[in-house]
Amino acid sequence: MEETLKNLHKAFIGESQARNRYSMFAKQAMKDNYFELESVFLETAEQEREHATQLSKMINQLAAKAGKKPAPLMVEAEGAAMFGSTLDNLKWSIAGETHEFTQMYPDFAKQAVKDNLPDIAKRFASIGVAEKHHKERYEKIQKAIVDGTLLKKEKPVIWFCRKCGYMHIGLTPPDKCPSCDHLKEYFYTRVEEY
Ligand SMILES: [Fe+2]
Ligand SMILES: [Fe+2]
């Protein structure tokens, strides 16, 4: 149980840092005119906050189980305060998420099984699934930026203006939104199935 308690704290530190990094990366994406990526970073930051919330709940539950009040715990953890251009930020984000879903959460889940904490093991594994999705989404955006296909598709798609919701079908968005005058960088494409 000691090891899992430490791992929960390490994960809490990791998620907390990821949340802040993504909020900072969102601002940089804005400066670099990647407006859709700004919202992806912000959404992901909120999802990392949710992971931190779940980890914090488990830390509190373990303390209660041991008949103790939750208290600070010293653990060895990596400080990760990288910040750069949007492409750098994406690269670091992909590396961080990959580490989490291929190594950190699977290792923590295994340890939780050893510590006879199956619910915590399941939660670690499930958070890993979310991180995998984060990595894949960042990777798609990175590829589109590098390939120059973020605002230029091979087949017509539906574009939406982030500012006003204007809709346009085509290979590219309009240079300027006819409904609100915002530039083409405000357009994103998405499958809306509700
Ligand atoms: Fe996370
Ligand atoms: Fe993540």
Question: What's the pLDDT tens digit per position in 101-142?
Answer: 999 999 999 999 999 999 999 999 999 999 999 999 999 999
Q: What is the pLDDT of residue 135?
A: 98
pLDDT above 90 (res 43): yes
Here the tokens at position 182 are 């915002």
Here the tokens at position 183 are 């530039």
Question: What's the pLDDT tens digit per position in 2-27?
Answer: 999 999 999 999 999 999 999 999 99
- If you measure from the C-alpha of residue 24 to the centroid of ligand 2, how many angstroms do you get, rounded to a whole number? 15
Here the tokens at position 162 are 């982030």
43 lies in which domain range? 2-147
110 and 26 within one domain:
yes
Phi-psi map region of 12: left, alpha, beta (phi>0 left; psi -120 to 50 alpha):
alpha
pLDDT above 90 (res 192): no
182 and 138 within one domain:
no
Here the tokens at position 186 are 């405000």
- If you measure from the C-alpha of residue 71 to the centroid of ligand 2, how many angstroms do you get, rounded to a whole number? 26
152 assigned to some structural domain: no
129 and 86 within one domain:
yes
Q: What's the residue count for the chain?
A: 194
- If you measure from the C-alpha of residue 125 to the centroid of ligand 1, how many angstroms do you get, rounded to a whole number? 11
Ligand nearest to the CA of 49: 1
194 assigned to some structural domain: no
- Structural domains of the chain, count: 2
69 assigned to some structural domain: yes
Q: What is the pLDDT of residue 181?
A: 97
Question: What's the pLDDT tens digit per position in 149-174?
Answer: 999 999 999 999 999 999 999 999 99
pLDDT above 90 (res 191): no
Q: What is the pLDDT of residue 134?
A: 98
The residues whose Cβ lies within 5 A of ligand 2, an ion, are: 97, 131, 134
Q: What is the pLDDT of residue 117?
A: 98
Q: What is the CATH number of the domain that holds 140?
A: 1.20.1260.10
163 and 119 within one domain:
no
The set of residues, in sequence order, having a beta carbon less than 8 Å from that of 151 and lying 6+ positions away, is 172, 173, 184, 185, 187
Alpha-helix residue ranges (DSSP H) falling in the chain: 2-31, 35-65, 86-99, 105-114, 118-147
183 and 93 within one domain:
no
Question: What's the pLDDT tens digit per position in 30-39?
Answer: 999 999 999 9
165 and 126 within one domain:
no
- If you measure from the C-alpha of residue 146 to the centroid of ligand 2, how many angstroms do you get, rounded to a whole number? 22
- If you measure from the C-alpha of residue 51 to the centroid of ligand 1, how many angstroms do you get, rounded to a whole number? 5
141 and 54 within one domain:
yes
Nearest to 84 by CA among 75, 73, 74, 95: 95
179 and 121 within one domain:
no
Q: What is the pLDDT of residue 78?
A: 95
63 assigned to some structural domain: yes
112 and 25 within one domain:
yes
Q: What is the pLDDT of residue 175?
A: 97
Question: What's the pLDDT tens digit per position in 47-91?
Answer: 999 999 999 999 999 999 989 999 999 999 999 999 999 999 999
